[in-house]
Chain A
Amino acid sequence: MLGPGVAWYLCVAAFLFGTGALGVIVRRNPIIVLLSLEIMLNGGNLALIAVARHAGNGAGQIFALAVMAVAASEVCVGLGLVVAINRKRLDLDVDKLSELRG
């Protein structure tokens, strides 16, 4: 295998996951929270594909494709929620959406 070893790819994946987690925690706009979630899922995908290449096994790539399908579903539902929130003239702010609080 030419180039860097699998551990370098795992470091990049960990950094992506941490960056996405930071965005999910610190941002208040639900659209940017969804974008940060995409970054977290992509970090997980990169780790899956790197380890699949290392092990010479195809299951990691299959799992990565399934994760991509789940990410597309999540975006579909999440953006539907954003549009529904916007239609009710509520603020697009995840800190203010506290009506479900018990």
Chain B
Amino acid sequence: MILASAGNIVVWMVWIGAGFACLASGIAVVSFSNPFYSALSLIGNLGSLAVLYLLLSAEFVAAAQVLVYAGAVMVMFLFVIAYVGPRVETPWAGGPSWQAVGAVLAAGSIFLEIIVAVALKAGGRLSHSDHVNATFGTPGWIGRLFLTDHLLAFEITSIVLLIAAVGGVILGSHTRRAG
């Protein structure tokens, strides 16, 4: 009993740390004027999200998050930012324009709408805890699901990636048009 409550406290502390790091780095991504710093704070956001995924016993998704995002996507972002060069754009320059006020209002209303929907539809039912078996979220379990129940999603995902790769090559290729 004492062990279980101690574990609970540790999990709460890790959750609070990762959750606040997640929210703070999300705000930092939006509010930095230099895209390079925004990309660096997105790495922090992805890392703290991976911690949250681990708390939700999604080990494979956490590992894939770190590999795919921090490993591949962020390298591409940083490369393009370095290629394009630093374009500093101050987001809140010249006082609050009506566009910025409207944007804050729209984002706040989206946030409130989701919170109210969660509270109204599922507030009571989401509070109880349940137990999952030990294989939940392991790579073998995910792989078995991918190749049995969700084979179509797996194949469609590969086609989407292929089309995106072709599109990226076409957009990046250096063709000289006639005239």
Contacts and interface: CB of A to CB of B under 8 A. Distances in A.
A12 interface: yes
Given A5-B126, A21-B110, A49-B53, A83 B83 contact: yes
Nearest to A22: B107
A19 to B, nearest CB: 4
B118 A27 contact: no
Nearest to A29: B89
Interface residues of B, number: 89
For the complex, would chain B's binding face be called helix, strand, loop or mixed by DSSP majority?
helix
Interface of B: 4, 7-8, 11-12, 14-15, 19, 22-23, 26-27, 29-30, 35, 38-39, 42, 45-46, 49, 52-53, 55-58, 60-61, 64-65, 68-69, 72-73, 76-77, 80-81, 83-84, 87, 89, 91, 99-100, 102-104, 106-108, 110-111, 114-115, 118-119, 122-123, 126-132, 136-137, 141-142, 145-146, 149-150, 153, 156-157, 160-161, 163-165, 167-168, 170-172, 174
Given A25-B103, A76-B165, A31 B132 contact: no
For the complex, would chain A's binding face be called helix, strand, loop or mixed by DSSP majority?
helix
Contacts of B156: 66
Interface size class, chain A? 35 or more
A84 B171 CA distance: 6
Contacts of B99: 25-26
Which 5 pairs, one residue from A and one from B, show the smallest C-beta to C-beta distance? A73-B164, A80-B171, A3-B11, A18-B111, A22-B107
